[in-house]
Structure formats: C-alpha cells, structure tokens
Structure 1
Amino acid sequence: MPAHVTPQGAPLPTPGPRLLLLATLTALLAACSPSPPAAAPVQPAAASPAKAEARNNAVAAQVTIGGEDAAETVQQWQPPRVEIADDAVAQARRDAAQAFEQGRLYADAGSAIPLWLALLQRDGKDRQAQAGLKRARQRLLEETSALLERPLKQRQAVAQASEMALVLLAIAPDDAQVRQLQSRVELAQRAIAYNRAGEDDLRADRIGEDGDGAIGNFREALALDPDNGRARQGLAAAESALIRRAENAARTTDFASAGTWLAEAAKVRDSSITIADAFERIERIRADTLARLRDEGLRDLATPQGLKPAREKLEDALRIALPGDPVVGQLRERIELVTHYGSFRPRQVFSDALRDGGRGPQMIVVPHGGFQMGAGEAEPGASDAEKPAHYVRFERGFAMTITEVTVADFRRYVETSKARPRATRRGHSIVYDERSGNFVRHSGVDWRSDYNGAPALATAPVMHVSVRDAEHYAIWLSEQTGRSYRLPSEAEFEYALRAGSSGRYPWGDAGTPPPQSGNFTGGDDVSPSGRRWFNAFVGYGDGWWGPAPVGSFAPNAWGLHDVSGNLSEWVADCWHASYRRAPADGAAWFNPGCRQRVIRGGNWANAPEQTRAAWRQSQDSDTTSARIGFRLVRGI
C-alpha cells in the first residue's frame, strides 16, 4: 500500500544577498537550526481539513534576528510535511530510494530527503533511512560544490547552491563539510552582489577611478574569490571604459585629460599590452591632429592674410604636442620664416625678372636679428661720429645685392631709361692719377669709366655715380620688377658688413686682414708704375691697385661679396654728427632735402682705420668718385 503524503510543498524563494550582515547571519542561522534533524511530526492519514493544514505548513520556516533598531529575517529549509501510515513504511522506503535514483532529493514531499526524515521521525534507528540520508547529504555536497565552480550563469548556479546549502544545514548542521560549503556559498553570494553592483555602476558610468563605483565593487568580489571570472571581466570592462574616455578626450584634442584617463586605466589591472595598444591609438590621434594642424597652417601661410590663423594653429599644436615634436617644429619654423622672411628663407639667392626680359642683380636674403652698431668708447681710431654704440634690431630680414652694382647692371638702366647720370651731365669725375699718385678731377669720366678714367669692364663695380644716380637706379629697378628696391640704411649696411661679428674690423680684431679676404690697401700692393701705399695693412696684398671685378674675393659669413672693401658705398641716410637719437629699428635716418649723405665700408684706397666696421664718412650728395659705388636692398 503506497505511503500517504501531503500535497507537494512550495519551493523556497531564492535568498537575496545581504552585504553587511551575512557573516553574522551565518552564525545565527546555525544557532537557530535544531540540533537533530527537524522532521515534521508524523500523523495518521488525515482527511481533507488535515491536508489543508499541511498545505499551509509546507513553507520555509523563518528565523528573526533582532537588532537595536531593526530586524532581519533569514530563511531556513523546512522539509515538506510527510505522513506515513503504519502499513506504508516499506513503501515509503521504496519511494525514497526511487526518488534518490531519479535525483529528486528535497523539492517536495515525495522527494528522498523528506521521506527519509519522516521515516527517522517514526524510528530514529531506521538504518535504511540513516544510510539514505547520508548518501543524499554526500550528493548534495558534490552537486553544491559543482554549482559553485560553474563558470557560466553564476547567478543562477549560486542561487541553486544556496538552496541546497540550506537543506544541508538543516539535515547536518554540525558537519564540517557542510559548514565549509555554507561559507563558500555565502562568499559566492557576496561576490555576486558586488559584481551586480559593479555592473550597475558601469551602466551608470560610475567607473570608480576615484575609489568608488564599479572598480571598487569588482575588486571586492575578487578579494572574496580571486578566480572570479565575472569580476575579472568587470575590471576589464572598467578598464575599457576608461580607455574610451581617454580616446574620446584625445579626439577633442584634450590630450591632458586623455593622459589622465589612460593613467587611471593602467591602474585597474595588469594589462600592459592593452594599455600599450591604447597609448599607440591615442598617439596616432595626436599625430594625425598635429599633421592636420600643420597642413592647415601651411595652407594659411600661402594666403596674403594667413599669418595670424597659422599662428593660431601653432598655438593649438603646441598645446597638445609632446616636447620636441618634429611636426610642430616644421610649422613653427615655417611661421618663423614667413614672419621674418615672407616667402623666402635666410641666405636664399634669387634675382627678379625685368619687364624687358632680363634679370635684375643677384640678391641674397640677410638673416633677421640684432647687433651693436657703432664704435666702442675705447676703440682705437674711432671718431665721435661713430658713437655712441647702440643696439639695433631687425625684426624682418631683407635682401641685399650680393655684390656692388656692376657697370653692366647700370648700363641696362641707362639705356632703357635714357638716363643721364650726374658725371655724364657734368662731364667730369674724380679719378686716381698714376703720375702724381693723387685723386684728381678728370674730364670725360662717368659711370662707364674705371678708377683711372679708362673704360671699365662690364663686371667692374660701377663708380663715378652720385647718391641720386643710385636712387634713380633703384626706382627704375623697382618699376622693372614690381618690387621695392632702395639704398640700404646705414644700419643695414653695417649689420650686413659685420655678418654676426663684433670686432674692430669686419674680420675681427686682428690688425691685418686674412689672406685674400678683400680688396684693401695692402703694404704688398703695387701700382702699374711701382707705387706703394704709405699707410696700409703691413704684409697684406690682394693683387689689385684699383677696384677689382665684383666677386673676386671670398664672401663674408652671410654670403656678401666686397661689402667691406673694393668700393665704399652710398647708403640712404643723411649725415648726422653722432648716433644720438638714431633709430633703433634699423631704418634710414633721413631728413628731406639734406645734402650731406653717408658712405660706408672700406675701399681699395682707404687707410686701415677707414676699413674698420664702424667707419663712416660724410659726402656731398653730388659727389662722384673712383672710390664710391653702391648696392641695393629689397624688401621681402
């Protein structure tokens, strides 16, 4: 005859995690469990009212844990009520064994454990029930342990393991394995709670780089379970979120924040490869951004008003670039060049096309910068007119003819413009007279003549020209090229002559020029009739008595030929007896209508003291001579 049982007991709800009281609840739960297995009292088969009572009692028992201000209820497993009639004991044993084989251990009154508990309630020495309950406990231990080790669907697995642990705790509260398993369940529950909290934080973008949020929760989970894959995945997700922040910041050119976020990401876990890859991506963003700013800046510089926007691009690039970035260096260098040289570069050589199809004289770009102009107070041979020494700065470079203007250059001007220079109109100029060894007025001499009145070579520097002749040539050349040519200012001339040096002479402080450095009055120079200079550089000879063809000697440090010798040269300034109140920006010091002008630079017949870098001299504006020529500058 089959055993009579009450209707199937209701399954237990899954217990929720309790983060603060779980350790205390574990101990209290054990204390509230009955020492022997607490089975429901066995009653004779009951009628319908009894079955209704059993149905109502087939729920999980509850233990209330009181505190000062609140109470918490903790679930216990209460076996479903089972009623076994006296003549149904054998059948109940068979039903329990069958349920065990089918894996139905505790869910309802027909399961193995409730049946064995009911049998032991009838007879505490029922060996079959004792043995069966022992087998059920072992199986529950194994199944619960397997659930806790399941890598996937941890939440469901831990919920089921928790239910099984409650059953084990009810039937074997003193078993060490059960207690150990219960601790594992509680740790797993707490880890799941931390993981769930961390995932909620991630969804809310509370990553926790400041010590709170997702990272903290996942680390708490790993502290409970170092092998918790879900927590490790959570930390990886938090790291990825921080990396995304870094990359998003980089895309908005906020590389300071990008670096901060990436540094925070590097603290999350030991993932050097991931961080290194992210760093490379951010640096690619930086490089692409800098390349874009450089290219846009260079395009700006190609437009007439592009300097200001190009500088703004440079400011943006400097803000995001690492020190020494070559791309930023390219843009800075190009802006620097445009600022100081326009479309040119320092030392660039060029010549402008003329309207008649020819080319103007060769020019070279003089670097911008500053220098100390004039002679020092203690400089030997200096005059008051060369003082006081004062600082002059050129914020922009300028182009200067590489050599003095040649006879060929001047001829093109005269023939094209039908000009009549001063010496041509006047019919005479000052030449060197070989017979007397003096400079004398000679008829029939003009720009076509050499130092001695003979016809000049086309490559000779043009001489016998007044300052106004030189200015008229500059006006003509400006009209021919569409560029602005003019005589150099006195400051520009001395700046170009010194070429970065600061000595007494253009070559330094040595009292004798370096060999073949220029056309100066040398003690070894000899005239066609054998004359020698009375006041000359001892031991120096350049092989010329008179001006040499332009470019016959080595250029100075800035690529200019003959600027310190060969011919003295007209400059744009009017004569002033000193440099007091002289312009500091290098502009010509010019008074309209002035007749006394300035010549600069040594010449083939100057005394050594007149070859000094600071030497200057006053000349009437109508003067023409075999010792004076000129060169031009052009704005860039």
Structure 2
Amino acid sequence: MGGSLRTTGPLACVALCVALACAACRQEPPAAAAPQPVEAEPVAPVAAPEPQAIAAPAPAVVPLPVWTPPAVELQPEQVRGALQRAGAALAEGRLYQDAEAAIPMYLAVLSLRPQEREARRGLEKARVRLQASVRALLQQQDEQRRALAEAATQVAVLVHLAPEGGVELELQRRVQVARRLLALNRSGEEALRNGSPALAAGAFAQVLELDPGNSRARQGLAAVESGLLRQAEDAAAHADFNAALDWLRQASRIREDAPTVADARVRIEAMRDAQLAALRDGGLRDLASPKGLKDAREKLEQALRIAVPGDAAVAVLRQRIDLVAHYGSFRPGQVFSDSLQDGGRGPQMIVVPHGGFQMGAGYGEPGASDAERPQHYVRFDRGFAMSITEVTVADFGRFVAATKARPRASRRGHSIVYDERSGNFVRRNGADWQADYNGAKAPPDNPVMHVSVRDAEAYAAWLSAQTGRYYRLPSEAEFEYALRAGTAGRYPWGDAGVPPAGSGNFTGSEDVSPSGRHWKNAFIGYGDGYWGAAPTASFRPNGWGLHDMAGNLSEWVADCWHASYRRAPPDGAAWYNPGCRQRVVRGGNWANAPEQTRAAWRLSQDSDVTSARIGFRLVRGI
C-alpha cells in the first residue's frame, strides 16, 4: 500500500481521530517496566445493510498501542559505556525492545546529557531505520496481521520520539487505516464463511471505499458474488426460480454489469427451459396412457410454478391437457367416421366444442311458449361428436339389411306424407323408411324419414355394436347447443326474421310445389328451391360444421317430454324417464311455420309417430 492517501470524505474522520490519538501519545507516561506491545482486537463487523443499499460508513478508529521506553538505570560515569552498548545494539538492529536496545539507551543518555551529539545521531539513525521498517511491514501481504501488529508497535515508538513529526504522523495514519482494512476484510471473510453474503459484501465495500485497489477486498467481493451465484444455481436446480432470481439480483449489485452474473442468468434460464421441457414431455407421455390425465395435470402445476408468463412449453402441455380432458384423443372441429365390421363406414361425425349456453327462450321472446322456459344455463365439460348430417336413407338401409329389421312404418304399413293434391299431410299406405316426403321412393342421399324414435335408437345400438363405440340420440340440450353453434338469437342465424340466403331448407314465400302451391305462413322473400326434404348437406353448414340443424327435417332427441324446463339437468344430459311414450322433437323442417324454426322451439310427439317431417342424427361419445 505505497503512496499517501487523501484525507477527504471518510478519511477526514480518520485523520481527526489520528490527531487525537497523537495528542494522547505526547503525554509523558510514568516510568515503568517495558510493557508487551498490545495489538488492538479487530472491531466487530457492522451489520450489513439491505442488499439493495450496501453503504460504506466511515470506519471506526482502531486504537494503537502506546510505547513507553523501558527504564534504564544509568549513572553519569556510565555514559560512555552506555553509548558503546547502544551503538552495538543499533548495529544489530535491536532498536526498542528492552532496556539494552538502542533507543532506550540513547534516551537514557540524553536524559543525563541533553547535548550529547553521539546519542542524538544514534537516535536519528534508529528513527530512520524504524521508519523504513514500518514501511516494509505495511507492504507485507503474508502474515499481514502479525506485520501490522509489529508496525503498530514500531510507529508507537516513532510517535514517542517525534510526536509532531510529519513522517511519523503519516506512518501512524497508514497503520491505522491498514489495521482497519484488515479488520474489515477479516470480518467480511468471517461473514462469508458463516453464510451471510450481505454482511460480507458490506464489509468489503467499506474496504474499497477506503482503498479502491485493495486486492483482498476485491477477491472477497468476487467470492461473495460467486457464492450468491452458487446459491442461485442451487435454487434453480431445486426448481425454486423465484429464489434463484433473488440471489441473482443480490449478485448483480456486487459489481455493475458483471459478465459472471449475465452468464449465470443464461445458465439458470437454460435450467428453467430444460425443466419445463422435461415436464412438458413427461406430461405428454402421461396423456398417452388411459389414466394419465391426473399425472399430466400434476406436471402442469409444477411447470406453472416455475414458468414465466407465456412460456411455450407450458402452453403446449396446457392445451393438450385441455384437449384430452374435453375431447379425449380428438380435436374440436375434427371430422371422422368409424369403420364397420362389414367393411363399410359409419356416418361422418364432427367434434362439437365443449362449453356452455343459455338453453330455452327468454320471457320476452315472440312466439315462445311456456314449454321453452325457464331459460337456464347448461354446460358441457366435455365435447362430443355429432353426425354432420341427418342419417341418410343409405345409412339406414345398411342397418335394415344387416339386421333384417322391420321399422315401425314397415310393420304398420303406412306413414304420414305430404299430399300434393290437397296440400295437407295424410296417412298413406306403403310409406316407410324408403319413402320420400310424398310417398315416392327416396334417393339414397336424402335424410331418412318415416322412422319412429325407437327405430332411431335401434339404428344407434346397431352402429355401436358395429364400431365398438357408443352411439346414441343427442340429448335435447346437446341438440340446441349444436343448433345455436355459439349464437344466442331468436333464430339459429340471429334475431333477423328472414334466413340468410342458402342457409337451409325452410318454408319460404318463394318456394313453389310441383303443382304451383305456395306456403301460407312462410319467411317472406326467402326461397331454397325445395318443396320437401333436400338431399343432406345441400346447404351451408352452421358455425360448427353441422348441416340442416334448423331445417330440412325435424329430429328425434333422447329426452322424454316435459312441459317446462323446471328441474332440467344442468349438465346437458338427456332428461329421460323409463317407459315414457311422449318424446321430444327439435329443429325446424321443410314444412314448419317460421315460429317453429326458432332455436328454442320444441315439440312433443308420441314415440310411435312416423312422418315425412321427422328424421334423426346421432351423437358419439369421445
């Protein structure tokens, strides 16, 4: 620590304290046996401030020892001998330690002969040697504590010899500061060993405030920073990234823009990414097993605890968990068909998204009845698949051929058809599932009609056996939910009274029968080009990809008839009472009045009814 230090800022306090200590040194001590030099104990470390505001207060003064010359018994006639012994001690480097050392001997001579020049010259030589010794001791790095203790004793001797000497006072100040720096460095190192990085950093910061080039303090701060970074990485390894970031913030305050902190931050973020990727991959593997949803959710919870907002790995796992929870192995909007045992394919199905809606009609809705109330909220926690179109004549014919079934109209020998001559619906013999709306043979891609609800349920049971999947009629809530497809208006297309062009097969004022008839109660200005049922998928699908939900044919659903929605199931399940005969029909048809095309419209029908206006579609669990 060569060179002088300025006494500005915190060192001004040091200079003042040194001056006071020097004034105490100038007092003549009583004669006594030579005391052993007393080294001041290091001061206790100052409690470290908060890591975000580490300060460097002015250091307290470490007391220096006071030197008292050993007593020398000397008579006037012994002066010559004393000078000779003092010279020999000076030559040997024994300067102050005991009564036979050079300085005590020369002082004893001068006490008898104040003008003795040999004693003055010898004392000056001893003083110069002590000055050099103190400077050398201040430069020592090894055994620094012992060297500073020796330097403190020697500078006490110098101050005794020259209480106002400039060199002596400067050396005394340097020793004072060096001892303070040593005490602070040792305090910081002790705090570091005891796991108190904030205390350690505070001590080392005080050292560097006094001595910016102090290598020991710089190494100490580097050790503090390294320890904080180890703590950060250890916390990250244990998936505690909040703690890791706290440790990093503390480390970043040690040295501004330290590259080690930036590198550690990159490593910790890489650890976070690796842990998140492992949780994501593990969760995806869990989802591949039938009962892995719970384990995957646990991994998602772990990932959410360590991820930053918007993390891609978490988003992927969350999305897959949601899909599995709500759709199994499917996706909303996915189209599929199951293979049949006979080599054919079942009806095309589409996955309806899970969600909720207000079912029924509000009290102010025009044309609504009490049977459509009260309006109530229904939620589907899991999606379901619904056939994209009504079941076709070809689909139903495959079932009849495979099972030799005799549907209700075939057994009874008649059904209800439209009579072109009278413009009314009449009973016609020979009309069954193979017939069109007027009793003629139906094309294979037409929706099957003239089937009872039990015929529809029998087809669903056969399809379930053929595919190994559970097919059934939709519940009334499922039908209205899919019919609305996320809308909430009076009609499936909204509140407007006229359907959008090409949206479905409804009764329109521009529709004309083969004999030129027009509807008496129809949507004004609308025409779809069909009088009777149209081939399936002839019109645009609704928002969820389903055709003919609001028109073409009304459809059987699984529910028994209830005169209102009081106590209706809130989860969308079918409201079914075993043995009931009155069933529910939903959705408008090619011959319905506009009021019967509303989204909430429902109708009670006997379970044996067959008609040219009623068909069905199916739902499959996923």
One-letter amino acid of the structure 1 residue matched with residue 464 of structure 2: S
Alignment-derived partner of residue 169 in structure 1 = 159
- C-alpha displacement at 1:323, in angstroms? 2.9
The separation in 2 between residues aligned to 1:97 and 1:245, in whole angstroms, is 57
Note the C-alpha offset of 1:571. 0.4
2:457 pairs, out of 471, 475, 485, with 471
3-state SS of the aligned residue for 1:442? strand
Does 2:563 match 1:577? yes
Counterpart residue number, 2:273: 287
Q: For residues 466-499 of structure 1, what are the alpha-carbon distances to aligned partners after superposition, in whole Å with 9 as ceiling and x for unaligned? A: 1111101110111111111100011110111011
2:196 counterpart residue number? 206
Are 2:577 and 1:591 equivalent residues in the alignment? yes
Structure 1 segment 166-315 matched on structure 2, within 5 A:
166-207=156-197, 209=198, 213-270=199-256, 272-315=258-301
Within a 5 Å distance, the mapping from 1:79-228 to structure 2 comes to 86=80, 130=120, 134=124, 137-138=127-128, 140-141=130-131, 144-145=134-135, 147-148=137-138, 154-155=144-145, 157-207=147-197, 209=198, 213-228=199-214
1: CA distance between counterparts of 2:136 and 2:548? 99
**CA deviation profile, 1:196-230 (whole Å, cap 9, x unmatched):** 222222222233x3xxx433433443454343221
Paired residue for 1:387? Answer: 373
Cα drift, residue 155 of structure 1: 3.8
Letter in 2 for 1:600: R
Residue identity matched to 1:366: V
Identity of paired residues, percent? 64
CA distance in 1 between partners of 2:456 and 2:472 (Å): 9
How do 1:498-537 and structure 2 match up within 5 A? 498-537=484-523
- Secondary structure in 1 matching 2:583: strand
- 1:340 match: 326
- Change in CA separation of 1:172 and 1:481 when aligned onto 2, cut-off 3 Å: same
1:203 partner letter: R
The range that moved more, 108-117 or 541-550, is 108-117
- Cα offset for 1:424? 2.2
Distance 1:91 1:588 in 2: 122
Q: Is the 8 A contact 1:32 1:63 kept in 2?
A: no
Q: Whole-Å Cα distance in 2 between the matches of residues 60 and 169 of structure 1?
A: 16
Report deviation, 1:568: 0.7
- Contact map agreement 1:430 1:464 (CA 8 A) in 2: yes
* TM-score, normalised with respect to structure 2: 0.83
Residue pairs, 1:376-525, within 5 angstroms: 376-525=362-511
Letter in 2 for 1:311: R
Aligned residue for 2:67? 76
Determine whether 1:606 maps to 2:592.
yes
Partners of 2:436 and 2:38 lie apart in 1 by 127
> Per the alignment, in what secondary structure is the counterpart of residue 314 of structure 1?
helix
Give the Cα separation in 2 of the matches to 1:618 and 1:580. Answer: 16
Deviates more, 1:611-620 or 1:281-290: 281-290
2:304 corresponds to which residue?
318
User: CA, structure 1 residues 64+448, in 2 after alignment: closer, same or farther (shift >3 Å)?
Assistant: closer
User: How far apart are residue 575 of structure 1 and its match?
Assistant: 1.4
Cα distance, 1:473–1:375 mapped onto 2, change above 3 Å: same
Which stretch of structure 1 is more off in the superposition, 74-83 or 267-276? 74-83
Counterpart for residue 550 of structure 1 = 536
Q: TM-score, normalised by structure 1?
A: 0.81
- Paired letter, 2:188: G
Q: Which amino acid aligns with 1:558?
A: W
Query: Equivalents in 2 of 1:219, 1:87: separation in Å?
Result: 55
Q: For 1:476-524, what per-residue CA distance to the aligned partner results, in whole angstroms no more than 9, with x for missing partners?
A: 1111111111000111101110111111100001010011111111111
Q: Which runs of 5+ in 2 are unaligned?
A: 1-13, 41-62
CA distance in structure 2 between the aligned counterparts of 1:272 and 1:397, rounded to whole angstroms: 54
SS across alignment from 1:288: helix
Alignment partner, residue 524 of structure 2 = 538
Structure 1 position 112, deviation (Å)? 8.3
* Aligned partner of residue 26 in structure 2, secondary structure: helix
Indicate the residue corresponding to 2:11 in structure 1: none
Match 1:367 to one of 328, 350, 353: 353
Q: Aligned pairs, how many? A: 582
Is 1:30 the counterpart of 2:25 in the alignment?
yes
Letter in 1 for 2:134: T
Q: Residue 265 of structure 2 aligns to a residue in which SS?
A: helix
